[in-house]
Amino acid sequence: MRRNVSGPVAVISMHASPLGALGRGENGGANLAVRRLCEGLAESGIPTDVFVRRDDPAAPAEEMIAPMSRLVRLTVGPPRALPKQDLADLVDAFAAAVAGHAISERRSYIVVHGHYWLGGLVAQQLRDLWHVPWVQSFHTLARAKARAGLPMDARRSAAEARLVAAADRLVSGSVAEAKDLMRLYGASRSRICVAQPGVDLRVLHPKDTIALRDELGLGGHRVLLFAGRLEPLKGAETLLDAVAALCAEERFDDVVTLVIGDDSGDGAAAGGGGERRRLEARAGGHGLQGRVRFLGAIEHEDLADYYALADICVVPSRTETFGLVALEAQALGTPVVASAVGGLTEVIADGETGILVAGREPRAFAEAIASLLDDTDRRERMGAAARLRAATFTWARAVGRIAAIYARVSRPVAVTATPCGYSDNEVMAIAG
């Protein structure tokens, strides 16, 4: 049954702008997901206003994301990037600013959609003020990070638990995140909807891979690729240690590793000058100068050429809610060697489109990478299978699911079918 949504949705993404440059600071998958969601909703005729905190005094107060989607930058706190702990103290002021903005325009919303725990804290207040349904996406969870051995953020964890209990619907980016919501936070299955992200090949298509290879002076070198915000949870250190093990073998003398991305907020806070400096020092300590290159953040659209020229993309994350980089690499026909964690186990078909490695042992990563470097035919077969698999993940499906939730919560009486809960395949995955 097709249900329509009438009226705009207020999207609260206090810390992450959908128009932010990806791969640095806090900007990564969550920003892209909000952007694609709003573009897709606009295509379905559902308008959105996305409220973010101004972190740059020069940025305009408003910008269009898509024809029916508007980004609104609210000046709350100093107009510069702030650590997340400081943002948490601005939640009430941000909620008041969104409410004030709505009054100033006499605009009302049919749903409020909170993103990340900070956006959730704001959305909860707006739900209570506006008496509209509240849909919540977390993108990452404090308890999942702590389970992976990263420091526990007790304030965030407690806030997430309260949000999970209070939101009208929860959107998870993977079955793995849905399980975490249930097991780590006690969420009830009936309120969770899984909406896995996708890849937009209209944006991510290679322009001139040969020219890029020349520009980087890669000649006939085989290439390993890492892309992501640089922070400990992304596990780039594991890759460097694995590359050091590989480089001890002469047959891998031609292998070059490209590291794309810059310090994440959490990375910069890691001390000692940031995660990038730490990783560069580690590569230097292994004697990998020239064999590992740190390229900084690359414009999202330009990443396609890097994915396409790489022989293998490596995603050694300690935890990953979904893993867009792994999906994007596959979409460009590149097999992935990744940690067997979180959404990566849904994105990658182990042994078919890449290799999933259990644990964080660099030698296990080195062996998986070596096995693909040693077998060109297998690598090419995997690359072709990866492309097909990636094509099954579409933003259109994610947007359709989320639009269905909006319709369900905003007009609950008219609805008989349930777009929430799991599909049969997802239930099978959970059962397995």
Chain centroid to CA 146: 18
Q: List interacting residues with ligand UDP (CB under 6 A).
A: 22-23, 28-30, 32, 227-229, 260-261, 297-298, 300, 303, 322-325, 328
CB of 150 to ligand UDP, least distance (A): 13
Report residue 308 as tokens. 């396409």
> Looking at beta carbons, which residue is closest to ligand UDP?
28
Beta carbon nearer to ligand UDP, 236 or 370:
236
For tokens 């740190």, name the residue: 294
CB of 159 to ligand UDP, least distance (A): 20
CB of 36 to ligand UDP, least distance (A): 10
Which residues, 6+ apart, have CB-to-CB distance to 290 below 8 Å? none
Beta carbon nearer to ligand UDP, 239 or 297:
297
- Residue 44 CA to residue 3 CA, distance in Å, equals 12
CB of 409 to ligand UDP, least distance (A): 26
- Residue 157 CA to residue 184 CA, distance in Å, equals 10
For tokens 């239930």, name the residue: 427
List, as one string, the DSSP characters of 31-82: HHHHHHHHHHHHHTT--EEEEEE---TTS-SEEEEETTEEEEEE--SSSS--
Beta carbon nearer to ligand UDP, 69 or 137:
137
CB of 336 to ligand UDP, least distance (A): 11
Beta carbon nearer to ligand UDP, 5 or 324:
324
CB of 96 to ligand UDP, least distance (A): 29
CB of 29 to ligand UDP, least distance (A): 2
Q: Are 372 and 379 in contact (CB under 8 A)?
A: yes
CB of 276 to ligand UDP, least distance (A): 12
Residue 406's closest CA among 70, 189, 113, 47?
Answer: 113
Beta carbon nearer to ligand UDP, 87 or 304:
304
- Residue 262 CA to residue 298 CA, distance in Å, equals 9
CB of 298 to ligand UDP, least distance (A): 4
Q: Are 311 and 289 in contact (CB under 8 A)?
A: no
Beta carbon nearer to ligand UDP, 261 or 333:
261
> Cβ–Cβ contacts within 10 Å for residue 67, how many?
10
Beta carbon nearer to ligand UDP, 69 or 317:
317
Decide the pairing of beta strands 169-172 and 48-53. Answer: unpaired
Beta carbon nearer to ligand UDP, 178 or 324:
324
Which residues, 6+ apart, have CB-to-CB distance to 368 below 8 Å? 337, 355, 357
| Cross-sheet strand order for the sheet of 192-194 | 62-66, 69-74, 48-53, 9-12, 111-115, 134-137, 169-172, 192-194
Q: Are 72 and 104 in contact (CB under 8 A)?
A: no
Beta carbon nearer to ligand UDP, 30 or 429:
30
